[in-house]
Structure 1
């Protein structure tokens, strides 16, 4: 049920237990400030399990981004809607080794296209911390437009970027 997707340079695959240490290390780092972090291992485990279980419960979730040439895990990309989110959200995390090569754009576009081809989503947004200029630029590269009227999850200030969805034919 959880797909494996490939692009020219990347494999997007289901999470594996061996991915958890890097996942938890990122969430424990200062870089997780854009995700209301840093977070401890218990929170990281909950998110890791959520990212996987969402595929079974909602028909979409997260995939690990892997470099096809080296097999290195570069980060992850996901589409999900936990109870606290007003809309279905697409988010991404790039580990330091994955940055600056367009991997996040490539991975997010591939997952978005895969999920929106099969799921009848009413919409797709990205919730972005206003200080996270790299994620703002990525959302814009993906064609998302800022929606200042959209509802946001509670907590820290958040910008909402609305992604265009393909037109469905009847």
Structure 2
């Protein structure tokens, strides 16, 4: 097995770690649920979800960053959060998915803020955006709670029209503007 050396990040309540084979069933269940996965390109059958999951892991090899699996400190899986930059996208984006039963507990924000911190402090990013489908009100609300603002709409090469929410940069966060 290849050791991708994906860093583990920790917050007060969560551990963000590299994807493992044991995570796939949760990812497949998320993508099978059309009401939950539509804002992430779903629904997808199990085979398509596997290909998406494998590409998520390969993304780490190609870019040196990607999605972390998020779990509570006692090992309960809650979702995946990370930085995603597929071919044809205008820039890397900060994205999040919470599994059924994990929404509304602040996990997405906690994980996304930690990933954003890592992107700025460790990876040296100076900006991040989140691409959100129109109508995904929960993701818009989370982006805004994190200090992001609507910047523009654009045509995503795979998903169609998406809204770009710009996150405050490291300087803005340091100054407390977010």
Distance 1:121 1:139, change over 3 A: same
| 5+ long unaligned stretches in structure 2 | 172-178
What CA deviation, in whole Å up to 9, does each residue of 1:85-137 have, x standing for no partner? 11111111001221111000000000110122122335311111111110000
State the match for 1:79 in structure 2. Answer: 83
Q: 2:166 maps to which residue?
A: 162
Work out whether residues 144 and 164 of structure 1, in 8 Å CA contact, stay in contact via their aligned partners in 2.
yes
Matches within 5 A, 1:114-129: 114-121=118-125, 123-129=127-133
TM-score of the superposed pair, with normalisation by structure 2:
0.86
Q: In 2, Cα distance between the equivalents of 1:152 and 1:161?
A: 14
1:62 to 67, 70, 94: 67
Structure 1 segments of 4+ aligned residues over 4 angstroms from their partners: none
State the alpha-carbon separation in 2 of the partners of residues 62 and 12 from structure 1: 9
Measured in 1, the distance between the counterparts of 2:44 and 2:64 equals 27
Higher deviation after alignment, 32-41 or 116-125? 116-125
Q: Is the 8 A contact 1:123 1:163 kept in 2?
A: yes
Q: Do residues 94 (structure 1) and 98 (structure 2) align?
A: yes
Aligned CA RMSD, in angstroms, stands at 1.5
Q: TM-score, normalised by structure 1?
A: 0.90
- Could you tell me how far 1:142 is from its partner in structure 2? 1.2
Higher relative contact order (CA 8 A, sep 6+): 1
State whether residues 93 and 128 of structure 2, in contact with CA within 8 Å, keep that contact through their aligned partners in structure 1.
Answer: yes
Q: Please, which moves more after superposition, 57-66 or 41-50?
A: 41-50
Deviations 1:44-83 (A, max 9, x none): 1222122222222212111011011x31100000102000
Given that 2:154 and 2:161 are in contact with CA atoms closer than 8 Å, whether structure 1 keeps it comes out as no
Unpaired stretches in structure 1, ≥5 consecutive residues: none
Of 20, 23, 26, which aligns to 2:24? Answer: 20
Q: Which whole-Å CA distance do the structure 2 matches of 1:108 and 1:89 have between them?
A: 11
For residues 125-164 of structure 1, the C-alpha deviation after alignment (integer angstroms, 9 at most, x for no partner) is 111111111000011111111112x644133321110112
Give the length in aligned residue pairs.
165
